[in-house]
């Protein structure tokens, strides 16, 4: 890994940790996890676990007695996940391993619950992920998929036409599948996954930005690197977002969806 990659990973680690503390966002995890029955001494897999913050939050819940495994294809995230689990005294019930979500290194039917929290929009072959999570889940087990529909991502900007271009560039450069969450009702049954519950939530920040502030700071450099918009226009956009936050006039929003399905 070169120095630039290292910096980018550090920034992503910070973002994953900080967004999990934003109530608007963490409430969405609570909302679906509260509806999942985790069997006593059950086994949970998080695919694309990043820094492991979701599994750590789960392990810290009252009465948690399951075993969690998190996999991610990025070594620096797995190292961070292992370190934080140790620091937060949940390492006994959690384990983090390097792995590719497209090719899970687990037996068929090994898990009671599989969680994909903001990962399916990032992977290169979402259908392969669905096939793999279905394979490693027990019959009757639960698969929770939570992510944004990033075609709905929007930041206010006085020039609406440029604002929409920047929204689209942020979505296209950050995510491999910005619209995948709209396809799941059609895709899930193809992998023996029966939809048991699904709903949508809008994440909206008005006046001040927290979740969308770090989103803009983390991903605007990707737009520059892609060459879709000039560095200068991206800087003007970022400056406008910061000014809006200083003045309390900020606005940004995106729709998020949760799908709970059962392996049949």
Ligand X SMILES: C[S@@+](CC[C@H](N)C(=O)[O-])C[C@H]1O[C@@H](n2cnc3c(N)ncnc32)[C@H](O)[C@@H]1O
Structure tokens at 47: 């695919």
112 binds ligand X (CB under 6 A): no
Give the number of other Cβ atoms within 10 Å of residue 243's Cβ.
11
Residue indicated by tokens 């910070």:
14
Residue 11's Cβ-count burial label (10 Å; 0-12, 13-18, 19+) is middle
Measured from the CB atom, the residue of 218 and 242 that comes closer to ligand X is 218
138 binds ligand X (CB under 6 A): no
Distance CA 222, CA 258 (A): 27
Of 30-38, 69-77, 218-226, 241-249, the window that binds ligand X (rule: CB under 6 A) is 69-77
3-state secondary structure 98-111: ECECCECCCCCCCE
Contact 150, 254 (CB under 8 A): yes
CB of 16 to ligand X, least distance (A): 4
Using CB under 6 A, pick the residue from 56, 117, 213, 224 that binds ligand X: 117
Measured from the CB atom, the residue of 157 and 259 that comes closer to ligand X is 259
132 binds ligand X (CB under 6 A): no
Q: Which of 44, 25, 51 is nearest to 146 (CA)?
A: 25
Q: Which of 158, 181, 171 is nearest to 259 (CA)?
A: 181
Using CB under 6 A, pick the residue from 44, 45, 53, 69 that binds ligand X: 53
Residues 180-199 that bind ligand X (CB under 6 A): none
Using CB under 6 A, pick the residue from 101, 136, 188, 244 that binds ligand X: 101
DSSP 200-263: EEEEEEEES-SHHHHHHHHHHHHHHHHTSS-HHHHHHHHHHHHHHHHHT-EEEEEEEEEEEEEE
CB of 138 to ligand X, least distance (A): 21
Residues 29-48 vs ligand X: string with x where CB under 6 A? -------------------x
Using CB under 6 A, pick the residue from 14, 95, 100, 183 that binds ligand X: 100
Using CB under 6 A, pick the residue from 9, 11, 67, 102 that binds ligand X: 102
Using CB under 6 A, pick the residue from 54, 114, 170, 184 that binds ligand X: 54
CB of 61 to ligand X, least distance (A): 16
Using CB under 6 A, pick the residue from 28, 33, 49, 130 that binds ligand X: 49
Q: Is 80 in a helix, a strand, or coil?
A: helix
Residue number with the smallest Cβ distance to ligand X: 50
Residues that bind ligand X (CB under 6 A): 16, 48-50, 53-54, 72-74, 77, 100-102, 117-119, 122-123
């Amino acid at each position: 890994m070169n120095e630039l990659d290292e910096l980018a990973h550090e920034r992503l680690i910070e973002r994953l940790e900080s967004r999990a503390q934003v109530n608007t966002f963490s409430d969405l995890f609570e909302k679906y996890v509260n509806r999942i029955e985790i069997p006593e001494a059950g086994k949970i897999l998080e695919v694309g676990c990043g820094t492991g913050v979701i599994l750590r939050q789960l392990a810290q819940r009252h009465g948690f007695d399951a075993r969690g495994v998190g996999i991610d294809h990025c070594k620096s995230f797995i190292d961070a996940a292992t370190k934080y689990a140790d620091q937060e005294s949940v390492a006994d019930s959690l384990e983090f391993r390097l792995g590719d979500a497209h090719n899970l290194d687990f037996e068929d039917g090994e898990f009671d619950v599989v969680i994909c929290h903001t990962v399916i929009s990032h992977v290169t072959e979402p259908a392969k992920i669905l096939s793999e999570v279905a394979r490693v889940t027990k019959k009757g087990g639960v698969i929770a998929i939570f992510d944004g529909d990033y075609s709905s991502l929007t930041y206010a900007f006085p020039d609406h036409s440029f604002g929409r271009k920047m929204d689209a560039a942020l979505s296209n450069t950050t995510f491999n599948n910005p619209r995948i969450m709209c396809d799941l009702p059609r895709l899930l049954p193809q992998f023996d996954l029966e939809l048991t519950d699904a709903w949508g939530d809008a994440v909206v920040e008005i006046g001040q930005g927290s979740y969308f502030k770090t989103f803009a700071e983390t991903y605007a450099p990707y737009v520059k690197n892609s060459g879709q918009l000039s560095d200068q226009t991206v800087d003007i956009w970022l400056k406008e977002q910061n000014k809006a936050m200083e003045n309390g006039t900020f606005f940004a929003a995106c729709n998020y969806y949760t799908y709970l399905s059962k392996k049949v």
